[in-house]
Amino acid sequence: MGTYHKLIIGDATSMKEIEDESVHLMITSPPYFNAPFDYKGLFKSYEAYFEMIQKVAEETYRVLKKGRVAVINIDDMLIDGEKFTIVADVTKIFQSAGFKYRDRIIWKKPDGYLRISRRSGVLLQNPYPMYFYPDNLLESILIFQKGKFNYSSVPKDLKEESKIDKKEFLENKWYSTLWEMVNVLPNSSLEKDIAAFPEELPYRIIKLFSYIGETVLDPFAGSGTTMKVARKLGRNSIGIEINKSLLSVIKKKLGFEGQLSLGEHGDRLEIIIREEEKVEYFC
């Protein structure tokens, strides 16, 4: 049988279309808090941002199966000279929703990605103590777990089918808390004006924390990167995206652009636009 994918156009603070404990893995990258390069002025206040994350965390806890994992790619943000402790605050939010804190991985972007900015360049203009402000080449990947996982609940044949390639694991240093991955290039064809993470990020997480045929959720689907990788790896997916204009981008990225039916057991995409009827595609 093919894989099943559901795209919900709406606000992720409500996941009313998703049943309790029906999701096996959540991976997402929430919008940056009022970042001047992506979401300037999107939220009225940090408290409003905090409240939005809180609701998403509570809904994620509800829909996630016991023992399973929620993964968030996020980082602290500098806005108008003030640094917001987003990583620490999001950790507290997910813990208050019922999750236990499992791990933190640091994503290091390529050395050539960053040039000296106005912030770090202050020291060059004033080479004295107290003028140092570093530029950030890192992001955090936070891993939370809903209770304990029952390893004996997975059938032996499914374990073997979903087995992780040891060579890939070792050569790419997945075992480390420092992952070096190339970020998405600005204004790439399907990522224009979208703060997307690279496919390598959900690829690793999906391989490490889910089995073939299970369901992966991304509450901030963006251009559909998580859903695309889930399909590639034989997993089902659910994506929630508030920006309706990204619908065509997500369909194209998933390979459902213009597709209606290509076989009885092909992959299927269901689109739910809140307040409107659902549409189904097959591939």
Count helices and strands (H / E) in the chain: 8, 12
Q: Do 107 and 179 contact (CB within 8 A), yes or no?
A: yes
Q: Give the span between the Cα atoms of 125 and 182, in whole angstroms.
A: 31
- Predicted pLDDT of residue 256: 87
Which parts of the chain sit beneath pLDDT 50?
Answer: 260-263
Helix, strand, or coil (residue 227): helix
Q: Give the span between the Cα atoms of 234 and 24, in whole angstroms.
A: 13
Token pair 């409003």: residue: 48
Pick the closest to residue 269 from 72, 2, 20, 7 (CA basis): 7
Q: Do 86 and 140 contact (CB within 8 A), yes or no?
A: no
Q: What backbone phi and psi angles, to 5 degrees, belong to 151?
A: -65, -30
Q: Domain range for residue 265?
A: 4-282
Q: How far is CA 65 from CA 118, 219, 272, in A?
A: 46, 16, 23
- Predicted pLDDT of residue 262: 45
**Residue 173 has what DSSP assignment?**
T
Q: Give the span between the Cα atoms of 274 and 283, in whole angstroms.
A: 23
- In a 10 Å sphere around its CB, with 0-12 CB exposed, 13-18 middle and 19+ buried, how is residue 246 labelled? buried
Domain count of the fold of the chain: 1
CATH number at residue 150: 3.40.50.150
Token pair 């595609």: residue: 281
| Region of residue 148 (phi > 0: left; psi between -120 and 50: alpha; otherwise: beta) | beta
Q: How far is CA 68 from CA 143, 181, 182, in A?
A: 10, 25, 27
- Predicted pLDDT of residue 263: 45
- Predicted pLDDT of residue 31: 85
Pick the closest to residue 172 from 137, 142, 207 (CA basis): 207
